[in-house]
A = this chain, B = another copy of it.
Amino acid sequence: MQFLSDNAAAVHPAVWSAMLAADAPDSPYDTDAISRELDAAFSALFGRECTALWVATGTAANCLALAAMVPPHGGVVCHREAHIEVDEGGAPGFYLHGAKLMLAEGASAKLTPDAIAGVIDPIRDDVHQVQPHAVSITQASEYGCVYRPAEVAAIADLAKARGLKLHMDGARFANAVAHMGCTPAEACQGVAALSFGFVKNGGLGAEAIVFFDRSLADVVRYRRKRAGHLQSKGRFLAAQILAMLRDDLWLQNGRAANAAAAEIAAAASERLLHAVEANEIFLTVSTQERAALRAQGFSFYDWGAQGARLVTSWNADASHVDALARAIRAL
């Protein structure tokens, strides 16, 4: 009974079908008919003109988007626990040619305008200090918490006032939108580029970089190739993404994962380290309790000395979820 991560979960049958259907001769890279549908599909989803490019991983999506916003001598404000800072193996340093991540604090890995201002206001406006050029936030955050539309808008306002571009790492954008019940557009107001994740949500190996600031896309086209991310059979990545958008499969999958998390959270309400607003649950559990859960067949990551991280997937097995909820209640 796996609650380790959503990042290696099964691929949704509709994604497989779309991939198999894409296996007809077409032109290479992103010149095929399927890849050329992406812009229209995302423009329809967000209700505005946007440009979308596929890449295989969230790390590539995040770093390519940021590389179009930040010169090598600039900086990006992000949370101290942001994925780009903690878990991307230094990829921002690589893609941004040595630009600096400027770390801010904030509860549940969420930034606020004040936290951002607290980082950038003390920076002297001279050449001795790296100047910020962008802000990156994660939706849902690394602790499974969600930025409300007004929170994103407030950050976007600050960013705009300071001449910074706003990037959103949406590895779990689906879960965030599913939680809020808002439109996808409302969930990322003022964002210049969104890394829209599918791999954790039923995809195989395709994410989208969605550019609301379309002027950023051309640089990323060159940088994607230069990074070895322009797959020659790109139609199979585009097909995955379109399958996920069709009939809002991305949203259904997000809802399913969230529902499983909510059930577990309800059983653990007094143990929660963070509000459960997506598909991740961070709990206080003792060493003995962790051992007890594992003895019953549940797998998950420790979180510090007295905690655990549990992640649910789009295809969470209801009986496993029920069992876990019961097991936690019984601790």
Residues of A within 8 A of B (CB): 2, 4-5, 7-11, 16, 20, 23-29, 32, 55-61, 63-64, 71-75, 86-100, 127-131, 199-200, 204-205, 219, 221-233, 235-237
Contact A129/B89 with A8-B26, A16-B20 known, Cβ cut-off 8 Å: yes
- Complex Cα distance A233/B91, Å? 19
Residues of chain B within 8 A of A26, CB atoms compared: 8
- Complex Cα distance A25/B6, Å? 10
- Complex Cα distance A60/B226, Å? 9
B25 touches A89 (CB 8 A): no
Given contact pairs A8-B25, A57-B230, enumerate 20 new A-B contacts (beta carbons under 8 Å).
A5-B232, A7-B232, A10-B25, A56-B229, A56-B231, A57-B232, A60-B228, A60-B229, A72-B72, A87-B128, A89-B129, A89-B226, A90-B100, A91-B227, A93-B93, A93-B97, A94-B97, A127-B222, A127-B226, A205-B236
Residues of chain B within 8 A of A72, CB atoms compared: 72, 90, 93-94, 97, 226
From B10, B130, B200, give the contact of A89 (CB < 8 A).
B130
What's the number of copies of this chain in the assembled complex?
4
- Complex Cα distance A203/B231, Å? 12
A94 touches B227 (CB 8 A): yes
Between A and B, 13 residue pairs with Cβ closer than 8 Å are A8-B232, A56-B56, A59-B225, A59-B230, A72-B226, A87-B128, A89-B129, A89-B222, A89-B230, A91-B227, A97-B98, A127-B222, A127-B230
B93 touches A100 (CB 8 A): yes
Residues of chain B within 8 A of A224, CB atoms compared: 127
- Complex Cα distance A59/B129, Å? 13
Residues of chain B within 8 A of A29, CB atoms compared: 8
- Complex Cα distance A2/B25, Å? 8
From B63, B93, B131, B230, give the contact of A99 (CB < 8 A).
B93
Residues of chain B within 8 A of A131, CB atoms compared: 222
- Complex Cα distance A5/B31, Å? 13
- Complex Cα distance A131/B64, Å? 18
A89 touches B60 (CB 8 A): no
- Complex Cα distance A7/B232, Å? 6
